[in-house]
Homo-oligomer: A and B are copies of this chain.
Amino acid sequence: MSPSLRAFFQNDRFARHNGIELLDAGPGWAKAQLAVGDHHLNAANVVHGGALFTLADLVFAVASNSHGRLALGINVSISYLKAARGPLLTAEAQEVACSSKLGTYTMEVRDAAGELVALAQGTVFRKDSPLPA
């Protein structure tokens, strides 16, 4: 992962507050993990949809900003495929299209057994400005 990309996302305080760890990234992709704790659970005692989404959202953000231009999320659709319990979740984003103004990504969230627990698809608007230092 480029030092400037890593440095930029070290400033992602919501991801940090929720224990999301960026593992690696390259042009158009990113990978992260979440060690599930009690504070990631919802009222039904499974991992909260917001936690799964936030994990997917981080790799979406990193992958879409990986070309060095600031990218802002426009929309995301997420499907929940099975109840997620932990102890470790991983997410990976892959670019499926990238034009001068827009980029589209798929995000997969998997549990410790490698099973898919959520699948998301999102689009960013690519600004003309570089990532802030």
Contacts and interface: CB of A to CB of B under 8 A. Distances in A.
Given A75-B77, A79-B123, A96-B119, A50 B54 contact: yes
Given A11-B43, A61-B42, A132-B44, A18 B50 contact: yes
Range for the number of chain A residues in contact with chain B: 35 or more
Contact of A40 (B14, B57, B82, B97): B14
Q: How many copies does the complex hold?
A: 4
Contacts of A88: none
Interface string A36-60: 0011111111011111011001100
B42 A12 contact: yes
Nearest to A53: B53
A12 B48 contact: yes
A74 B103 CA distance: 10
Given A76-B78, A97-B116, A132-B44, A51 B106 contact: no
Nearest to A58: B50
Given A44-B70, A75-B78, A39 B51 contact: no
Nearest to A47: B14
Given A50-B50, A76-B77, 5 more contacts: A16-B39, A17-B18, A50-B53, A53-B76, A125-B125
